[in-house]
């Protein structure tokens, strides 16, 4: 616990206690006193920072003045505010949506297969053409890279539509080391 001393007792340099944060002079006391403020003083319930549990060093509430204007539930963060604090749910929504549009599943293949949101397929066509069927599932990006010189990668989407400037029945990758990227929105596939 912090020790309070009178100014007259501080003529010599004194060592601060382990929990002391700062020292203040209380001129309203008679005679003037210097008080050391400790972490436990600030975190006492109720205290100047707010309600807390000092034994576990966890805040249950924080009081701020003229800093935060709102607690935002916007999971898109389009407000781009310096005075709004996002809630846990808003942060989770934002991160979940960002992950949905990331490529997460990398596969090396040389055979006919399916692809859905989050897949990155490195397709070896040396043994012949490879058919890739875009299937509903996780929304997000799909990247297909032809990793060879010979034959083609043929991409279809029987359960949805492929948009490439218009509706197309299939996309073929013929050039060596070329790629196509798609975005699945939950219904259709778009070439991006």
> What share of the chain in percent tops pLDDT 70?
61
Same domain, 16 and 85: no
Which of 178, 177, 168, 149 lies closest to 188, judged by CA?
168
Same domain, 114 and 140: yes
Q: Residues 6 or more apart from 178 whose CB is under 8 A from it?
A: 145, 146
pLDDT of residue 26: 57
pLDDT of residue 182: 94
Same domain, 83 and 140: no
Q: Tell me whether residue 175 is in a domain.
A: yes
E-strand stretches of the chain? 5-6, 20-26, 33-38, 52-53, 58-59, 70-72, 84-86, 105-109, 113-115, 119-123, 130-134, 140-146, 153-156, 162-163, 167-168, 170-173, 179-184, 189-191
Task: Give the range of the structural domain holding residue 88, as residue numbers without chain letter.
Answer: 70-99
Q: Tell me whether residue 119 is in a domain.
A: yes
pLDDT of residue 81: 80
pLDDT of residue 185: 87
Q: Give CA–CA dist 123/108, Å, rounded.
A: 6
pLDDT of residue 172: 96
N- to C-terminal Cα separation, the chain:
63
Same domain, 77 and 115: no
Same domain, 93 and 43: no
Q: Tell me whether residue 181 is in a domain.
A: yes
Q: Tell me whether residue 65 is in a domain.
A: no
> pLDDT (tens digit, 9 = 90+) per residue, 9-59?
554 445 555 555 555 555 555 665 666 666 565 555 555 444 444 455 555
Same domain, 185 and 152: yes
Please say whether the beta carbons of 150 and 126 come within 8 A: yes
Same domain, 21 and 75: no
> pLDDT (tens digit, 9 = 90+) per residue, 165-186?
899 999 999 999 999 999 988 8
Higher-confidence position of 130 and 104: 130
Q: Tell me whether residue 64 is in a domain.
A: no
Same domain, 141 and 185: yes
> pLDDT (tens digit, 9 = 90+) per residue, 61-120?
555 555 677 888 888 788 888 788 888 888 887 777 766 556 678 899 999 999 988 899
Q: Tell me whether residue 169 is in a domain.
A: yes
pLDDT of residue 53: 47
pLDDT of residue 62: 57
Q: What is the mean pLDDT of residues 120-149?
A: 92
Same domain, 110 and 150: yes
Instruction: Tell me how many domains the chain contains.
Output: 3
């Amino acid at each position: 616990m912090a020790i309070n001393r009178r100014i007259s007792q501080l003529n010599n340099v004194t060592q601060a206690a382990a929990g002391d944060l700062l020292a203040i002079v209380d001129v309203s006391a008679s005679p003037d006193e210097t008080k050391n403020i400790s972490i436990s003083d600030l975190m006492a319930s109720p205290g100047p920072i707010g309600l807390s549990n000092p034994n576990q060093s966890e805040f249950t509430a924080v009081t701020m003045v003229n800093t935060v204007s709102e607690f935002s539930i916007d999971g898109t963060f389009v407000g781009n505010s310096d005075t709004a604090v996002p809630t846990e749910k808003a942060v989770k929504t934002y991160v979940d949506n960002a992950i949905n549009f990331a490529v997460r599943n990398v596969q090396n293949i040389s055979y006919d297969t399916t692809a859905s949101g989050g897949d990155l397929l490195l397709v070896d066509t040396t043994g012949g053409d490879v058919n890739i069927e875009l299937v509903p599932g996780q929304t997000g990006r799909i990247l297909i890279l032809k990793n060879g010189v010979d034959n083609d990668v043929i991409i279809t989407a029987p359960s949805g539509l492929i948009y490439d400037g218009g509706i197309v029945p299939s996309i073929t990758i013929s050039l060596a080391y070329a790629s196509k990227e798609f975005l699945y929105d939950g219904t259709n596939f778009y070439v991006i």
